[in-house]
Amino acid sequence: MENTNEPEQQEEGENTPLVRVSHLHIDFSRQRVLSDINLSVARGETVAVIGESGCGKTVLLKSMIGLLPPTSGSVEFDGQDLRQLKEREMANQRTRIGFVFQQAALFDSMTVGQNVAFPLRQHRSLSPHEMKQLVLARLAEVGLPDSIIFKKPAELSGGMRKRVGLARALILSPELMLYDEPTTGLDPIMSDVINQLIMRTRQRDHVTSVVVTHDMRTARTVADRVVMLYPYSRLRPGESQILFDGPPDAIDQCDDRRVRQFVDGQAGDRLMEMRELSET
């Protein structure tokens, strides 16, 4: 009987979302940023979270790693409610998650090699040789030469810093990758390089990914699914903060004017709203 049931249990685990956000509310002081967000991310899926500045995209991303606790609701990673974890358990869970920050967030006083190796020093017991080989392998995967390990972040271009940040996020072979505006500030060619690296990482390492972005080209290129958030302060009464949730090719057929304006990069009603606010 045990052998008969085991495959069914394994299949059930595989079908469980790696990330589940349930009725999530996050307030800063008296300001609500996220309201009743419900979102699941399947294992192996890449979800792009889009929306204008101030709609809570990065707040949602940070809640997925436990950096911002919910005001109410829950965030589960691999079936575990992050609020219920003790500090040590939370630290262990975070080794399974890679986070690529918007501005790479490299340590200026460290070399590239030291930056990429930082998670290894914190969470693995490796010899200096083993550590160096892993660092060089990850740098090679993001298209950077061995010689870069001796450089400081200030000596690198924006695109190179982004790739170093990606290498650092990948160093512990995470199951979940979180990207916060990975192409912001980059030229179109380097943006496409980053997009291709995101896709290659998913295919090679079979990781689940959540990508916060303003860039519709990034969303269309890397995502299986696109979720659009809208600022809570501008919602109609009783309206969901998620205006769209579906495949990238379906967003062009969305009949919500706010979605269309964002996708097409049109000011639309926003300019009038800004004028009204400035007059109050």
- Give the domain CATH number at 210: 3.40.50.300
Q: Mark whether 21 and 87 lie in a shared domain.
A: yes
CA distance 238 to 244: 16
Average pLDDT over residues 207-215: 94
Tokens representing residue 258 in the block = 């706010």
Task: From 173, 198, 217, give the residue that closes a domain.
Answer: 173
- Total domains in the chain come to 2
Mean pLDDT, rounded, of the chain: 88
Distance from C-alpha of 219 to C-alpha of 245, rounded to nearest angstrom: 12
| Residue length of the chain | 280
List, for residues 17-43, the tens digit of each pLDDT value.
Answer: 999 999 999 999 889 999 999 999 999
At residue 12 the predicted structure's pLDDT band, cuts being 50, 70 and 90, is very low
233 and 206 together in one domain: yes
Question: Pairing between strand 97-100 and 176-180?
Answer: parallel
Note the pLDDT tens digit of each residue in 56-80.
999 999 999 999 999 999 999 999 9
The answer as to whether 278 is a domain residue is: no
% of the chain beyond a pLDDT of 70: 90
243 and 184 within one domain: yes
Q: Which long-range contacts (CB under 8 A, 24 or more apart) does 256-261 make?
A: 258/230, 259/228
Is residue 166 located within the same domain as residue 118? yes
Q: Same domain, yes or no, for 187 and 166?
A: no
Report the pLDDT averaged over residues 152-177. Answer: 92
Comparing CA positions, the residue from 38, 10, 22, 12 lying closest to residue 76 is 22
Same domain, 123 and 221: no
Let me know: does 66 contact 94? Beta carbons within 8 Å: yes
Is residue 276 situated within a structural domain?
A: no
Residues 194 and 150 in one domain: no
Residue 268 covered by a domain: no
Q: Is residue 192 part of a domain?
A: yes
Q: Which helix (H) or strand (E) holds 133?
A: helix 128-141
Helices and strands (H and E) in the chain: how many: 10, 10
Residue 72, helix vs strand vs coil = strand
Least confident of 2-11, 107-116, 199-208, 228-237: 2-11
Residue 280 included in any domain: no
CA 264, 265, 270, 272 torsion: positive or negative? Answer: negative
Q: Which domain holds residue 127?
A: 108-173
Same domain, yes or no: 86 and 152: no
Residue 188 and residue 89 share a domain: yes
HSE, CB side, 13 Å, CA atoms: give it for residue 77: 27
Last-in-domain residue among 146, 173, 200: 173
Hey, how many other C-beta atoms are within 10 angstroms of the C-beta on 175?
Answer: 18
pLDDT > 90 fraction of the chain, expressed in percent and rounded: 70
| Cβ count near 157 (within 10 Å) | 11
- In this structure, the answer to whether residues 85 and 118 fall within a common structural domain is no
Q: Model pTM?
A: 0.86
CB 225 within 8 A of CB 245: yes
State mean pLDDT over 121-142: 90
Is the pLDDT at 125 greater than 90? The verdict is no
What does the pLDDT average to over 103-118? Answer: 90
| Same-domain check for residues 48 and 84 | yes
Calculate mean pLDDT across residues 242-266.
93
From 173, 199, 227, give the residue that closes a domain: 173
Looking at the predicted structure, is the pLDDT value of residue 6 above 50?
Answer: no
187 within a domain of the structure (yes/no): yes
Other Cβ atoms less than 10 A from the Cβ of 17: the count is 17
**Given the structure tokens 């009783």, which residue do they identify?**
238
Same domain, 91 and 184: yes
Distance from the first to the final alpha carbon of the chain? 71
pLDDT for residue 3: 43
**Does residue 255 lie within any of the structural domains?**
no
The mean per-residue pLDDT over the stretch 167-175 comes to 93
274 is a domain residue: no
Among the listed residues 188, 7, 211, the one whose alpha carbon sits nearest the alpha carbon of residue 101: 211
Rg over alpha carbons for the chain, rounded to the nearest Å, is: 20
Query: What is the model's pLDDT at position 275?
Result: 56
Question: Are 247 and 241 contacting, i.e. CB atoms less than 8 angstroms apart?
Answer: no
